[in-house]
């Protein structure tokens, strides 16, 4: 069996999620978990972890979902492992128990991709001027491509970053890597997330990262 993370936008009305479940069931997709990412202005964006039987291609999920009126698929990505309830709290607990400051930063980088559904995570600190920085921690999936400068540091608030900016390596732009960052205790230190192939980070996800970074910053003091 293969698992996928399906992000869909659908009308926020009674019965819409049930209709989607029936449509996915028609292609033998089993919904393992559901998380509401953002809701407002008559629509909702949900993340569903679904499992397909052997031999089924993920394209069938898009076809089944978009047969319904008011449903649009944002992305389908391979997913490993179930989504745990209260996963941010679990991450915070793991960071708190990790030991010294460096161990905490590395634990954050290692576990944030799974918790926040991204491809990689890094913790950066501004040093000197002209966008110079040092990487304090990085997740196993962080790109090997070197970044020469990060002119967006220092950073005051959690923000989606422009993935077409000059500082972004060409290979990241070609792979449509969505980027978001948040200050980690002070404007010169930031947690950065990358999502290869998108989708772009929604405002609710940016806020979510900001809250998480603020809590972790308290643990690092």
What pLDDT shows up at residue 34? 86
What pLDDT shows up at residue 191? 98
Q: Are residues 118 and 194 in the same domain?
A: yes
Which CATH number do you get for residue 44?
3.30.70.260
Q: Are residues 130 and 216 in the same domain?
A: yes
Show Cβ contacts of residue 135 under 8 Å, excluding neighbours closer than 6 positions: 122, 123, 124
Query: Per-residue pLDDT tens for 20-50?
Result: 999 999 999 999 888 888 888 889 999 998 9
Query: Per-residue pLDDT tens for 58-101?
Result: 999 999 999 999 999 999 988 865 444 467 888 999 999 999 99
What pLDDT shows up at residue 83? 47
Query: Per-residue pLDDT tens for 114-162?
Result: 888 899 999 999 997 778 999 999 999 898 888 989 999 999 999 999 9
Closest CA to 61 of 90, 36, 85, 29: 29
What pLDDT shows up at residue 63? 95
Q: Residue 199: is its pLDDT beyond 80?
A: yes
pTM of the model: 0.77
How confident is the model over 173-186, as a mean pLDDT? Answer: 95
In 53-188, the DSSP E strands lie at 71-78, 120-126, 133-138, 159-161, 178-183
What pLDDT shows up at residue 87? 77
- Buried b or exposed e, range 92-127, using 16+ CB within 10 angstroms: beebeebeeeeebbbbbbbbbbbbbbbbbbbbbbbe
Q: Are residues 71 and 100 in the same domain?
A: no
Q: Are residues 49 and 118 in the same domain?
A: no
Which CATH number do you get for residue 101?
3.30.450.40
Last residue of a domain, one of 10, 45, 78: 78
d(CA 110, CA 123): 11
Q: Are residues 110 and 57 in the same domain?
A: no
Q: Are residues 56 and 119 in the same domain?
A: no
Q: Are residues 72 and 143 in the same domain?
A: no
What pLDDT shows up at residue 36? 85
For residue 8, give the H/E element and its range: strand 2-11
Q: Are residues 214 and 161 in the same domain?
A: yes
Pair of tokens at residue 217: 């910053």
The 10 Å Cβ neighbour count of residue 61 is: 22
Pair of tokens at residue 15: 């019965």
Structural domain containing residue 10: 2-78
What pLDDT shows up at residue 86? 61
Q: Are residues 200 and 126 in the same domain?
A: yes
Closest CA to 23 of 11, 33, 31, 32: 31
How confident is the model over 194-204, as a mean pLDDT? Answer: 91
Q: Are residues 119 and 187 in the same domain?
A: yes
Last residue of a domain, one of 30, 56, 78: 78
What pLDDT shows up at residue 133? 94
Q: Are residues 187 and 216 in the same domain?
A: yes
Q: Residue 102: is its pLDDT beyond 90?
A: yes
Q: Residue 19: is its pLDDT beyond 80?
A: yes
| Centroid of chain to Cα 113 | 7
Pair of tokens at residue 94: 């793991």
Q: Are residues 100 and 72 in the same domain?
A: no
What pLDDT shows up at residue 85? 45
Looking at residue 152, the DSSP 8-state letter turns out to be T
The 10 Å Cβ neighbour count of residue 79 is: 21
Number of domains observed in the structure of the chain: 2
d(CA 54, CA 71): 26
Last residue of a domain, one of 57, 78, 99: 78
């Amino acid at each position: 069996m293969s698992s996928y993370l399906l992000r869909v936008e659908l009308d926020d009305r009674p019965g819409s999620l049930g209709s989607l479940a029936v449509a996915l069931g028609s292609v033998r997709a089993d919904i393992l978990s559901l998380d509401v990412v953002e809701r407002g202005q008559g629509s909702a964006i949900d993340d569903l972890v679904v499992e397909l039987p052997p031999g089924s291609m993920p394209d069938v999920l898009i076809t089944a979902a978009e047969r319904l009126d008011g449903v649009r698929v944002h992305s389908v990505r391979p997913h490993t492992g179930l989504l745990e309830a209260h996963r941010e709290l679990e991450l915070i607990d793991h960071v708190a128990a990790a030991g010294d400051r460096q161990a905490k930063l590395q634990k954050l980088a290692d576990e944030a991709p799974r918790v926040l559904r991204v491809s990689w995570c890094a913790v950066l600190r501004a040093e000197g001027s002209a966008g110079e920085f040092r990487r304090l921690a990085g997740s196993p999936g962080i790109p090997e491509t070197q970044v020469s400068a990060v002119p967006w540091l220092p950073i005051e608030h959690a923000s989606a970053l422009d993935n077409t900016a000059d500082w972004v390596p060409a290979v990241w732009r070609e792979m449509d890597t969505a980027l978001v960052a948040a200050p980690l205790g002070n404007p010169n230190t930031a947690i950065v997330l990358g999502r290869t192939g998108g989708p772009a980070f929604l405002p609710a996800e940016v806020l979510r990262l900001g809250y998480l970074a603020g809590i972790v910053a308290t643990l690092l003091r």
